Structure 1
């Protein structure tokens, strides 16, 4: 426990500093970096410049694994099953098609075209198809990815998610999204932009209706993280199994924290938890995610990141283009049949 305290104290301190930096006017007006991204940057600087004592290692790993899983469970307080109903069948179809299409494309391009490590492909695909850095963090333990792979995936999500956040409102207001109305734009944004915060910014930059629709569509997409991780766990076990008669339960690296996530969504859906309590939990959850990001940064070897090269950027660019142009097509096609 004493050793855990040292490392946990370090990652917590980085999280506190990251929250402070993210709150500065300079950051808000220019870079607009979230505390999660700042934490991974600070952590990477610390981990690569200084030699972290062995007495800190246990606490850092504790932050990266145990704290992370708790944070993923608490993400459920950001969602309700009513969100799925509110977004409607059109939003649900667009979310599902874009998630599945982006994930499959990302994995295929990563492995078949750019010959990247399989775990890197899964991380890049989950980050772009679901909910950015949170999805990368949740997927990493399931696919047993090294930390420098997760760090690279988070970086690419940040780059293209930020680009989307600024580009989408400009493109829509310029009338370049065919004959989209605010509702169409909201579904399109929620189904294709990477992070929740980026979706909120891109949605409300157009109108309140677009912002509300985009947020609900995005939260519904985030909810799909749980079934994706379960399917991915089963697929990996089946692929790695040596006995052809099927897959035994012990072969499946089941991410049990996903069931906690679903349970929390269910609890939040009942409406029995006071709203102010939920808001405080969400703030705590963001802080816990920031601690996990700090640990990821500390455990990230920048030399290994450099060795990965530009290929993850190219993969993420292809997924970004698919999300944008594919999203327009799927939204139009869905509303053509349903309207």
Structure 2
């Protein structure tokens, strides 16, 4: 597997270099660079096995390590009403995605994938949800499309939402909840929050991590629904997902240990960095496995779906912040 893993790591390192020197989102760069190397995922190449390993096993490792950033103490710092608003936004966005997918003529798999990624934490959530969805011949294409879309939308939101919060007359806490509760990826939340003030940046990051903490229960609910509803049997070639995936167990265990104060700050910081790199390597591998031509076949209705989900989440949080305020 070494050649394929090495290629995925090289693409991830290159993407990180471009991010640090030119300000481009690392996830987006990894995906785009990976797409140009699709020929390395052909079955008869030496790299195919390692690329597949990176796109699946390394992905699950990265999601599990996210748990080291989550703790119960985070929830207590924000307050009940704001926590309820953030959680309600996650649930409402996923339910809206299922409804909108029917209107746009898209399947439930794409609805859960795009809705979950918009509602929770962008590319990381998309990869976690994809890991429990029944596999089809369109799985890699839909995942690449979702990661590409949420990363672009998140970057646009990072630029537009801070001045919008000023126009809406939000105070520091309200701006932080708006930014952390709506922008898809953690890095863009940090960028948007700290562009207003350090206070807004820190609180927005906290709100975002509360959304990240919803990843495990949402993936578990999806997994149970697919299993009990027999949805995984719709495709005879699709592998039936487990009731509780191992990476979700890892996520929950690390979150519990961190809540109990058993994970030292240095170790938590290391886990955070390892998670980010694992997810970067994984998305590079997903890009390599995905044909750009096939990804473009996803259609305009899928783009309309994910944009509608983003607008719905933003509107929901704005209205909620006004009502609570």
What TM-score do the two structures reach when normalised by structure 2?
0.91
- 1:253 shift after superposition: 4.3
Task: Provide the secondary structure at the position in 1 that maps to 2:297.
Answer: helix
CA distance in 2, matches of 1:72, 1:22: 21
| 2:68–2:254 contact (8 Å) kept in structure 1 | yes
| 2:134–2:241 contact (8 Å) kept in structure 1 | no
- 1:220 shift after superposition: 0.8
CA distance in 2, matches of 1:60, 1:199: 30
What's 1:9 paired with?
A: 6
Residue of 330, 334, 337 corresponding to 2:320: 330
Task: Provide the secondary structure at the position in 2 that maps to 1:143.
Answer: coil
| 1:124–1:316 contact (8 Å) kept in structure 2 | yes
Alignment of 1:53-68 (within 5 A): 53-68=44-59
| Cα separation, partners in 2 of 1:251 and 1:60, compared to 1, 3 Å | closer
- 1:322 shift after superposition: 1.1
| 1:187–1:217 contact (8 Å) kept in structure 2 | yes
CA distance in 2, matches of 1:153, 1:50: 20
| 1:142–1:253 contact (8 Å) kept in structure 2 | no
What's 2:237 paired with?
A: none
Alignment of 1:1-339 (within 5 A): 4-24=1-21, 27-28=22-23, 32-34=24-26, 36-48=27-39, 51=42, 53-110=44-101, 112-145=102-135, 146-173=139-166, 176-177=167-168, 179-240=169-230, 253-335=243-325
Q: Count residues in correspondence.
A: 316
CA distance in 1, matches of 2:275, 2:189: 19
- 1:276 shift after superposition: 2.7
- 1:313 shift after superposition: 1.5
Greater C-alpha Rg = 1
CA distance in 1, matches of 2:43, 2:281: 16
| 2:120–2:184 contact (8 Å) kept in structure 1 | yes
What TM-score do the two structures reach when normalised by structure 1?
0.87
CA distance in 2, matches of 1:331, 1:311: 30
Cα root mean square deviation, aligned: 2.1
CA distance in 2, matches of 1:314, 1:286: 29
| 2:89–2:317 contact (8 Å) kept in structure 1 | yes
